[in-house]
Each structure stands twice: as structure tokens, then as C-alpha cells.
Amino acid sequence: MTSITLRAAIAALALASLSAQAAEPKPGAADKLYQANCTACHGVKMEGGVGPTLGNHAWLHGAPTKANLIKVISKGVPEKGMPAWSPALSASQIALLADLIAANASKSVAAPSPAATAAAKAQQNVPDLGGFKLPRGFHISVYANDVSTARSMVVSDSGIVYVGSRKAGKVYALVPRADKQTAEVVTVAEGLENPIGVTLLNGALYVGEISRVIRFDKIDQRYAQKPSYDVVKVSLPNDKWHGEKVMKAGPDGKLYIPVGAPCNVCDVEDTRSAKIYRMNADGSQLEEYARGVRNTVGFAFHPTTKVLWFTDNGRDEMGDNTPSCELNVAPKAGMHFGFPYCHGGVVPDPDFAKGRTCEEFEAPVAKLGPHVAPLGLAFYTGKQFPEAYRNSVYIAEHGSWNRSTKSGYSVRLITLYNSKVVTDTAFIDGFLRGEEVVGRPVDVATLPDGSMIVSDDYGGRVYRVTYDGK
């Protein structure tokens, strides 16, 4: 090649990249559409999550050309958990998204996102415990490290804590060491599909995955032997969006299991989503218990009234400051908690309310604030904490993922008098330090010695809170 043709080639290349830039869609609109509809499964930076990365990878549905992308986005792959976006999005919106993804298709975003890298770092480094704020006389320590993506917890009579997980796909047993100050982490099972939900009934550990419920019999005797499990015969929706399943054994000996709405907001009144179910331990007599519940990821039964209390996560895309996430009470079957018509007890949905009023539905007993992401809750039933802290509700607030100023990231304490909310204050703060996240609380439980444990899926650990009055 002569130097002249070389120069011409370089000039042509430069031109080509210029025109490629000019042809790129305005990032604003496409990006907003992506952030509003796709991040839940494909990640904020297209790094993947429930769905594949939308950066460089072996594309499942043909080369990532605009035409192919429009096809897969419009029709979805419903049987694989990718929703069809036509007609929810218009043809021009889908075309914008296709352009955005095509432009991104060869970038390597599958590498851990900055958030994932930060999380990996957090798993190694225990945050400075002095940075946590608790009421006077309470102390926090690490009960167990290496509990990757720790989610719901349940404590057996012998003091073993079973912990579900999310991406790690594992169920753990935290076995107290002799001094009871810390625990050994034993992996009970692995390779499961987001097994976030765990509960104990008749000596068996029940685990909720996205598409099934499994049971490990006599778990306290078998946790260390990679125990076998049985699949409980029950058919529930297994959408990936809000499809992870927490579970809890009720005082009636039934298993309670919610199914979230497969969307940010959509009318699923006549489907099996956005409801709480209960069933016998063997999966028989599955029945609806409560409806209009967008996505509860934590619930508990009041220690004396035995009534069901649950958190519910408010919808997104109505701005930073509305609607509020909810704490609800369902003393009997058949109650409706408003979704998708009314949010936070007072905010009619701009698209779905259509002539329905908030008065028709059960209002929350406490409004927890917008985007705080309340997950697990527990009543403190121990004797170690002072009287004023007993039989109160403790709520793990995972924290906002899409609010301009982060909110949540704490364990809240809600005190009750005759089941009426009296105060709502922070019990543990300091999971968020400035804008730096050091942990995201998921669930709360009481240990037999009256100390409290809190799971953190971001740091991959479980904290322990004790009281000595000093």
C-alpha cells in the first residue's frame, strides 16, 4: 500500500466513525426506555442478571442486527422469561431500543459491573463497625462472613440459622461456634435457582426457588451431608420478574408463599400474580390468601395475635418521592391491598386506577417511604433487649436502586401498642455512608440467646446485634 492510499484509507475510516457517531440514536430517550423497562433483568449497564448481558456474548437469537433485535424485543421469549414488549411499547420505542442495543452489542459489559466489583470488594472487607449507628446500649458485630448474596433466614430450635441466597444459588447453615459469638458457614445445597426463601415446618427446611419449592427433611440432622431434597408438588407462576419466592410457615401449619407482579405495574387482577397464597405442607389445597400485593419479599406472624404482617415494595417510575412502600396487616383471607389501582394507600395509579378509589382497598398500617425497598421483617421475641424493644417490628430496608438520592439501607424499628403503630425510627443506620454503600439489609431474625441477626446480600454476611446497656 502506498502512503497516499494509506492516508486515504485512514481518512475514510475517520469519516466512517464520524458518520457512525452521527447515526447513533440520541442517548436520552432510548436510555430512559431501557432504564425504565429492562434493567430489572439485563442490569443497569446491560451486564446481565436474570437475562443475558446485552453486550458482547453469544447472541441467542441471531446476530444483533436492528431487524433481529426488533423481532426479539417485540415478541419476547415468554417461555424463557423475556417478556414481549409489543404492544406495551410502540414500534418507534422498540426501534430506539434496538438501535441502543445494536450500538452496545460488541462492547464487553459482561465483565463485572462497577457495582458488582464494589460488592466483591465489600465481601472481603468488613466495614468499620464503628460506622454503624444503633440506640445506646446496643452493639453490632459480624456473625458470619462468606455468606454470598445472603437473603432470607430462619432459625431452628437448636440455633442453626438457615440462609437462602440469590445469585450464589446456595442455601447455607450457620452453625454457632462454642462461644456463640460467631458461626461456621456450611453450604447445604448449591446450583439452585435464586433460592431466596427459607422456612422450617415439621423439622423440614422448605426452600423457595423461582420455579419450584423444595423440601429437605430432618434438616438439623442432615445439613452437613449435602442432603437430598424432594420437590413439593405445587404449581405457581414462575415469571422471572419479581418471581423470587420468600416463604414462611404460618401458625396454622400452612406454608405462605407470595407471587409478585411480573412487571413494574400492570393489571394482573385476573391472573395468579400479585397475590399471597397458602397451602398445606405437601403443596395441596393451594388457596389465595391476599391480593393486590405488588411484591412482598418479607412477612411474619405477630407473636401473640398470630396475624400476618408483610412489607410491599411500591411501584417505580412515578418519581423520587412517590409512592410509598408499605407495611400491611392481613388478619383474614380475602383482603385486597390495592395494586395496581392504588399505591401506598393514597396514590391512585395514573394509568390503572380508572374510576377505582383508594378507599376500596386496605390501607397500609405504616407508609415506609418511597423506594426504600423493605424486604424481610421480624418481631423481636427475645428477652435480651429491653422491654420497649420486644414484640416490635424490625424491617430490613434494602435501599433504593433508582432514586437520585439513595434511601433505605437501614433496619427500622416500628413499635406497636395493641397492634397499632406508635413509632417508626431507625434501629441500625450506617449501611450507607455518604453515597458509599457498605451493605444492604435483607432479613432480620432472633437467635435463641435473644440477640438479633441481620443478613446483608451486598456484603455477603450476617451481622449480630446484642444489648448490654452500656
The piece of 38-46, 272-280, 322-330, 347-355 that touches ligand HEC (CB under 6 A) is 38-46
Nearer to ligand HEC among residue 37 and residue 295 (C-beta) = 37
Q: Of 83-102, which residues contact ligand HEC (CB under 6 A)?
A: 83, 85, 97, 101
For residue 83, the minimal CB distance to ligand HEC (Å) is 6
Q: What are phi and psi of 335, to 5 degrees?
A: -80, 155
- Does 237 interact with ligand HEC (rule: CB under 6 A)? no
Would the CA dihedral through 336, 342, 344, 349 be positive or negative? positive
Q: Of 44-83, which residues contact ligand HEC (CB under 6 A)?
A: 50-52, 54, 59-61, 69, 72-73, 77, 80-83
Residue 127: alpha-carbon gap to chain centroid: 22
Nearer to ligand HEC among residue 82 and residue 453 (C-beta) = 82
Residue 14: alpha-carbon gap to chain centroid: 46
Return the C-alpha torsion angle 292, 240, 277, 304, nearest 10: -90
For residue 30, the minimal CB distance to ligand HEC (Å) is 9
Separation between Cα atoms, residue 375 and residue 324, nearest integer Å: 14
- Does 40 interact with ligand HEC (rule: CB under 6 A)? yes
155: which 3 cell numbers? 432459625
Q: Which of 241, 310, 427, 431 binds ligand HEC (CB under 6 A)?
A: 241
Separation between Cα atoms, residue 272 and residue 422, nearest integer Å: 35
Nearer to ligand HEC among residue 141 and residue 264 (C-beta) = 264
- Does 37 interact with ligand HEC (rule: CB under 6 A)? yes
Number of residues that bind ligand HEC (CB under 6 A): 25
What b/e string do you get for 60-72 counting C-beta neighbours within 10 Å, with b at 16 or more? eeeebeeeebbbb
For residue 89, the minimal CB distance to ligand HEC (Å) is 6
Region for residue 118 given its phi and psi (left: phi exceeds 0; alpha: psi -120 to 50; beta: otherwise) = alpha
For residue 142, the minimal CB distance to ligand HEC (Å) is 34
385: which 3 cell numbers? 433487649
Q: Of 140-199, which residues contact ligand HEC (CB under 6 A)?
A: none
Nearer to ligand HEC among residue 26 and residue 218 (C-beta) = 26
CB 169 within 8 Å of CB 194:
yes
CB 239 within 8 Å of CB 230:
no
Using CB under 6 A, list all residues that contact ligand HEC: 37-38, 40-42, 50-52, 54, 59-61, 69, 72-73, 77, 80-83, 85, 97, 101, 240-241
